[in-house]
Amino acid sequence: MDKRQKRGVPEGLWMRCPQCKSTIFRKDAESRFNVCPECQYHFYMPARERIKQLLDQDSFEEWYTDLRPRDPLEFKDRIRYAERLKAEQAKTGMPDAAVVGKGYIRGRPVVFGVTDFAFMAGSMGSVVGEKLTRAAEEATRLQLPLILVSGSGGGARMQEGILSLMQMGKISAALGRYDRAGGLYISILTNPTMGGVAASFAMQGDVAIAEPGALIGFAGKRTIWNTVRLELPEGFQTSEFLLRHGFIDRIVPRKDLRTEVARIIDYCEH
């Protein structure tokens, strides 16, 4: 009697939603821009996918691809920072956590930047800060709208110490010059946007848009409890909480972001 091997379900076809706990078909979520079809939970989305979703097809021209992070402090925790960088670069195919350049949104030229959580939690080191600063400076020179998509759970990158922290001031100064030149800065906040990123460029947009359910703030709930023993209100630091308290301008589902950004550009420039 032939013994036939049982055919199992291939790995990766299904995924579990952390919000509604439903088991969903991965391709079903991907066809909805990585959004749960049951509860509309917004999953992580890589930088390259963000570019495809928001910008016109094949319109993106990436800038500053030669910038590479270094290890000026020769930092070591569990492993050396230099080794960690190599591992992150191999995992993500990115030199660092930010991608910037010029593109078009429904035919409208913009300077565009995005941080990717997959690379060291989207934390802002010297290269990320430099790329975003240069993007703001180029938007000023070209007199174009600036769109930055933030997704950082790491804030400033501790492995670079003060060299990382100074990026907060550097990008903020560049945005200040851009604002004085009359530029339009649209900040798109995704889950999570925390720490030094939230405390600098992410919350400085002329228009601040957040995806539904995004965690946005400086220190997280556990950190606040462990330091000052404060129990935070329900839903604290979510997009919805921030909208109610006037910290952001609107919440826009991912599928509508492209149209909404184009509409804002038209409204503000005419």
pLDDT in tens, 23-45: 999 999 999 999 999 999 999 99
The answer to whether 72 touches 147, Cβ cutoff 8 Å, is no
Reported as half-sphere exposure (CB side, CA atoms, 13 A), residue 34 has a value of: 15
Q: What is the pLDDT of residue 154?
A: 78
Domain ranges within the chain, ordered by starting residue = 13-43, 45-269
**Model confidence pLDDT, tens digit, residues 43-62:** 999 999 999 999 999 999 99
Tens of pLDDT along 123-182? 999 999 999 999 999 999 999 999 999 988 878 999 999 999 999 999 999 999 999 999
> DSSP state, 238?
B
Return phi, psi of residue 149, to 5°.
-105, 120
Q: At a CB cut-off of 8 Å and minimum separation 6, what does 96 contact?
A: 67, 68, 69, 119, 125, 127, 128, 131
Q: What is the CATH number of domain 45-269?
A: 3.90.226.10
Whether this prediction's pTM lies above 0.85 is answered by yes
Among 187, 163, 165, 164, residue whose Cα is nearest residue 175: 187
Predicted pLDDT at 153:
85
What is the predicted pLDDT for the residue at 142?
98
pLDDT of residue 188: 98
- 3-class DSSP assignment, residue 42: strand
CB-based contact 113:100 (threshold 8 Å): yes
Dist CA 69 CA 85 (whole Å) = 8
Averaged over 111-130, what is the pLDDT?
A: 96
pLDDT higher for 195 or 148? 148
The values of phi and psi at residue 47, to 5°, are -55, -45
Whether the CB-CB separation of 73 and 161 falls below 8 Å is answered with: yes
Question: Which pLDDT score, from 0 to 100, does residue 225 have?
Answer: 77
The rounded distance, in Å, linking the Cα atoms of 251 and 231 is: 25
pLDDT single digits (tens) 215-266: 999 877 778 878 888 888 777 889 999 999 999 999 999 999 999 999 999 9
